[in-house]
Amino acid sequence: MTGSGWKEIGLAAGLVILAAFVPLVTDGYWLSIAVTAMMYIALATAWTLFSGPTHYISLATGAFFGIGGYLVATGMSDYDISFWVMAAVAPFVAVVLAAIVGAATLRLSGIYFVIFTLGLAEMIRGLVSWVQNNFLGSRGLYVLTDFTEAHIYWMLLIIAAVVYLIGWLIERSRLGFAMKIIGNDEGVAKHLGINTAAAKVALFMITGYFTALVGVVIAPRYSYIEPNLVFSPELSFLVVIMALLGGTQRLWGPIVGVIPFTLIWETISVSFPNATTFYLGLSFLLIVYFIPNGFVGLVEKLARRRQG
């Protein structure tokens, strides 16, 4: 284990402790922004866990997130099952899905995977609506709990911290080493005797688990769940954009991408409520123009320049 690795995890731990105090400082508007940011931090970090080293752009976030949110709502609303039981069960359904999707597409090259995940959220939404419509029925999916924004924030923070820790451990494991080789040249990885498909599927399942868990925790915040709100293709894209804005070469990349993105998005929403999409496009152009390698690239370039 290198010194810089310990330094990194120490810094992360310090940030987590600092972040845990946010709800004690503010409980209104800024907390609601913090909850949104923390949701995206957890989602983008989970995304980077798989897509960072493999360079496979996954658009499956909306599908996993939706499974988490939808199952919690169905369980609580239609079957009177407690939130905690559903929170324990739902992510494993996402893991099974990730295994099936992974087994079907990850043995092929990247492009098939991207195309398949693109339609995944929509497909799962169609599937659950079909099941509900034909077998289960519905009286509206309400997730009424006594959680406050602070509770939801802390739960998301814990998820984000655990994802980060797992990512940090994987990076230093045999699996992480294998992923780096796969990312650089899959042919070489195969020749070295790495079971590339198994490695990729395993990592994809971990991503699926935590993405669904975020969906579970967000469900009480939304309170009323409609399939087309939680199985959102838009969410899949936003997560990718934020991760790319931060930079995917490092596990901490998404974190530095999400925070400025959330703030820019909020400023646009507040200042120009009638033209949000236009200004969002404009800021994308400016971002791509000035920081093409994400914030990670920018930070590392500045660091190199200082050394040189």
Partner 1 sequence: MNRREVLARLSTGLAVVGTAGLLSFSALAADTIKIGAVAPKTGPLAGGAAVSQWPNIELWAKEVNDRGGLKLKDGQKKVEIIEYDDKTNPGEHIKAAQRLATQDKVDFIIAPYGTGFNVAAAPIYAKYGYPQIAVTSISDQIGELTGRYPGLFFTLGSTTDFVQGVVHVLTGLREKGDIGNKIAMVNVADAFGIELADVARPLFTEAGFEIVYDKSYPLGTPDLSPIIKGAKAANPDAFVAWSYPPDTFGLTEQAIIEDFQVKAFYTAVATAFPAYGGKFGSKINNVLGAGGTNPDDPKIADYRKRHKEVTGKEPDYWASANTYAALEVLAQAIEGVGEADREKVTQYIKDHSFDTVMGELKFENQNSRKYWTVGQWQDGVFRGVDAVNIDGAAPVRVKEGWE
List residues binding partner 1 (CB under 8 A).
28-29, 31-33, 36, 39, 126, 129-130, 132-134, 137-142, 144, 148, 218, 221-229, 232, 266, 269-277, 279, 282, 286, 289-290
In the three-class reduction of DSSP (H, G, I as helix; E, B as strand; rest coil), residue 247 is classed as coil
Q: Closer to partner 1 at the Cβ: 184 or 293? A: 293
Cβ 1 to partner 1, closest distance in Å?
39
Q: Closer to partner 1 at the Cβ: 134 or 307? A: 134
Of 119, 73, 63, the residue nearest 231 (C-alpha)? 63
Side chain identity at residue 187, one-letter code:
G
Cβ 248 to partner 1, closest distance in Å?
24
Cβ 279 to partner 1, closest distance in Å?
7
Cβ 24 to partner 1, closest distance in Å?
16
Q: Closer to partner 1 at the Cβ: 199 or 225? A: 225
Cβ 283 to partner 1, closest distance in Å?
8
Query: Which residue carries 């330094």 as its tokens?
Result: 7
In the chain, where does DSSP find H-type helix? Answer: 3-20, 22-25, 29-54, 61-79, 83-105, 110-131, 149-171, 174-184, 186-191, 196-222, 227-230, 233-246, 253-271, 276-290, 294-307
Do 68 and 220 meet the contact criterion of CB atoms below 8 Å apart? no
Residue 246 contacts by C-beta under 8 Å, 6 or more apart in sequence? 44, 252, 253, 254, 255, 256, 257, 258, 294, 295, 296
Q: Closer to partner 1 at the Cβ: 138 or 173? A: 138
Q: Closer to partner 1 at the Cβ: 79 or 272? A: 272
